[in-house]
Structure 1
Amino acid sequence: MSAYQPVLDPACGGRMFWFDKSDDRVLFGDVRDESWELCDGRRFDVRPDMLMDYRDLPFPDETFRMVVLDPPHLRNAGDTSYMVQKYGCLDQETWKTDIKTMFDECFRVLKTYGTLIFKWNETQIPVSQILKLTAHKPLFGNKQPNRTGTHWIVFMKEDAK
């Protein structure tokens, strides 16, 4: 880990989409630090550089140039299911408040004109519902993902003035 990381991933999970899972430009965070064996015998690790909750980030305002955000997408899944173990699960009762707070916190720690890259799979919750939980407007993204239902959306933090 370097002294300064311009990029924050506050819900890194297994760092699955990162080309370099140990890139020292990125501070990898998550609420869990654990490892387990998957049903096919492979190990799956969630090993953040720092434990953190994306709803209450332990950083001053305007700390990062980029935030990469891939939060849990499921709200209905079994506690011990493969999907929950691998990706986590939203709280059935508080998920809307949690997502709104997550966006607020991620934009708070983002520098003005910084970039937030947001990944969302709409298997259970449409991305249109998620985007209503933030006042920030997307800059661009894939509006009609193919069969996967996974959206990549890019935001730019506007000048607060």
Structure 2
Amino acid sequence: MANQKRILDPCCGSRMMHFDRANPDVLFGDRRAETITVTDRSHGKADGTRTITIAPDTLLDFRALPFADGSFHLVAFDPPHVARGGEDSWLVAKYGKLGPNWQDDLRAGFTECFRVLAANGVLVFKWNETHVKLSEVLALTPHQPIFGNTSGRKAGTHWLVFMKPATGVVEGKEVASAQ
């Protein structure tokens, strides 16, 4: 797949973390394209429902990204983090749900996100540890974050920043120098 964008969000969902949900620099991808309405009386709507629309620019699987190595300068990786929840769950509708092989899925996701990053590219990773601890997820990538917001279990949501090396080996592959 040809790419003209600088930023990839391979798990965009409803684009809720983006200030500009139509940013022309971002390629919004997701494995789902759908509008979901679920019962959620906590939201306060008279009919007791909530609706969310997932409308990516392209359908894709973050475990096997259809882009050449080094295609993006920035990847925003916000994979599903919900481990438990019914089909009518608002959280499952909003964020998706981890599969039974979630460790393999996230390991493959990190590998693919780093693969499509240019040398010196930045990966911003968002994780909520309500169901799975951040330490369990970070064990799935050989890279260490540079910095981030590790807010603790009470707040639950963490933002971490990684930078792909300019040269060397990443995930068993030689990385070219950025010139």
- TM-score range (shorter-chain normalised) is over 0.9
Question: TM-score, with normalisation over the residues of structure 1?
Answer: 0.93
Considering only CA atoms, is the larger Rg found in Structure 1 or Structure 2? 2
Letter in 2 for 1:121: N
Number of aligned residue pairs: give it: 158
123, 126, 134: which one aligns with 1:119 = 126
Deviation at 1:148, TM superposition (A): 2.4
Where does structure 1 lack aligned partners over 5 or more consecutive residues? none
Letter in 2 for 1:88: G
Q: Tell me: CA distance 1:42–1:90, structure 2 relative to 1, closer, same or farther (3 Å).
A: closer
Map 1:43-54; keep pairs closer than 5 Å: 43-54=51-62
Correspondence 1:34 to 2:42: no
CA distance in 1 between counterparts of 2:11 and 2:102 reads 15
Deviations 1:25-80 (A, max 9, x none): 00000000001234344531100000000000000000000000111001222123
1:24 partner letter: P
Letter in 1 for 2:5: Q
Q: Which of 105, 111, 118 matches 2:112?
A: 105
* Matching of residue 151 in structure 1 with residue 177 in structure 2: no
SS at match of 1:86: helix
Distance 2:50 2:129 in 1: 27
Q: Does 2:135 correspond to 1:135? A: no
Following the alignment from structure 1 to structure 2, what is the Cα–Cα distance between the partners of residues 7 and 20? 13
Q: Is the 8 A contact 2:38 2:88 kept in 1?
A: no
Unaligned runs of 5+ in 2: 40-44, 169-179
Moved more, 15-24 or 31-40: 31-40
CA apart distance, 1:142: 1.0
Shift of 1:160: 3.7
Using a 3 Å threshold, how does the CA distance of structure 1 residues 28 and 62 change in structure 2: closer, same or farther?
same
Larger mean Cα displacement after TM superposition, 29-38 or 6-15: 29-38
Q: CA–CA distance in 2 between the matches of 1:104 and 1:154?
A: 15
1:86 equivalent to 2:94? Answer yes
Partner of 1:65: 73
Tell which deviates more after alignment, 73-82 or 130-139.
73-82
Identity of aligned residues (%): 46
What RMSD in Å do the two structures reach over aligned CA positions?
1.4
The separation in 2 between residues aligned to 1:158 and 1:129, in whole angstroms, is: 23
Q: TM-score, normalised by structure 2?
A: 0.84
The residue matched to 1:138 in structure 2 has which SS?
A: coil
